[in-house]
Amino acid sequence: MPEQFGDKSQDATPFRRQKAREEGQVARSQDLASALLLIGATLVLMYFGGEIAHYFYLLAERQLGGTAWLQADPNFIVVETNIAWVHLAKVLAPVFGCMLLLAVLVHLGQVGFLFLPSKLAFDLQRISPIKGAGRLFSLSNVVRLAFGIFKLTVVASVALWSVWQHFDTILSLGGHEIVEVFIGITDILLSTCLKIGIALLILAVFDYAYQRWKHEQDIRMTPQEVREEMKTLQGDPQVAARRRQIQRQLVLNRLQTAVPKADFVVTNPTELAIAIQYDPETMEAPIVVAKGAGLVAQRIRRLALDNGIPIIERKPLARSLYQHVDVNQPIPAEQYAAVAELLRYVYELKGKTLPGINPAA
């Protein structure tokens, strides 16, 4: 929506959030994923590193040790190469499998499952030099550049600190065998990578918090956008108001016809009103000709007063009839005795006898 419709002062609605997600606009931190992958890769190498090193040791010993056995035969070279690749795949498959699983879990943990085939479509705007230059010199990129320089400083500081801690060990490696030197350097490198990963993870947590805050700011809505969304989801408010007005008028018109036919109105006393009619010649049981709550109940009582229809307060009966009996439906059997008693009372007020009804039925 154009910005001239107002400031983005409204929180995003659930529909706006879902729409932004479908467009790929979600809060995620690439730094968090990178830090977790670095830590995960380091731990995996620490666990499988011995097996990998042992494989390469045996491979070097087989290829370079002992008597010469290589043949200048293309078939022999192909067979040996395939054997080497198969064994290498067996050794590296757990490492790459763990890394792939970790990468999937990291991204699912941030944004959940999100499939956006539209992002794979060709879009000229993505390669537009003008738009690219605008993004290059945007405030967001300036912030990321400053944060990147700060991260580089942190990484360098942690690496130097880690190497300094092992400075004596590094100096002593000159008097050891080549295998011990390799193992010592590998331990120092993995330890340094783990410390760097932890430092980057701490920074990435702040970056993720910033990305979530920025995402919330980006998807905020103007009051005009909220109104337009309500029109889209619920229809035009004016049309909805007109529809409700017509419905109220239809209800009132029906009450104008139904309530005057009633024999009495039972109330709650002000919240509910139920108009009941009984014609012993055409009805097997009394029926509810109108019912309502609030303003409709007030309208029923007003029509009853205007037409001289008795209004009787019976709270339990009114609640039961309002909840369980629809308009133009007979009263339930369990309420028949109570309604019959009221009918007899109304008929006595009018000086009439109620025929064909037995309260004990």
pLDDT tens profile 3-49: 444 577 777 777 888 887 777 777 778 888 888 888 888 888 888 87
**pLDDT for 207:** 85
- 113 vs 217, higher pLDDT: 217
Q: What is the mean pLDDT of the chain?
A: 79
- 299 vs 352, higher pLDDT: 299
**pLDDT for 239:** 65
**pLDDT for 157:** 92
Give all domains of the chain, ordered by start, each with its CATH number: 26-218 (no CATH), 240-349 (3.40.1690.10)
pLDDT tens profile 68-80: 555 566 777 777 7
Exposure class string for 175-211: b at 16+ Cβ within 10 A, else e: eeeeeeeebbeeebebbbbbbbbebbbebbeebbeeb
pLDDT tens profile 243-270: 777 777 777 778 888 888 888 899 987 7
The answer to whether the CB of 313 falls within 8 A of the CB of 271 is no
Is the whole-model pTM more than 0.75? no
Q: How large is the angle between the packed helices 178-218 and 30-64, nearest 10 degrees?
A: 160
- 68 vs 328, higher pLDDT: 328
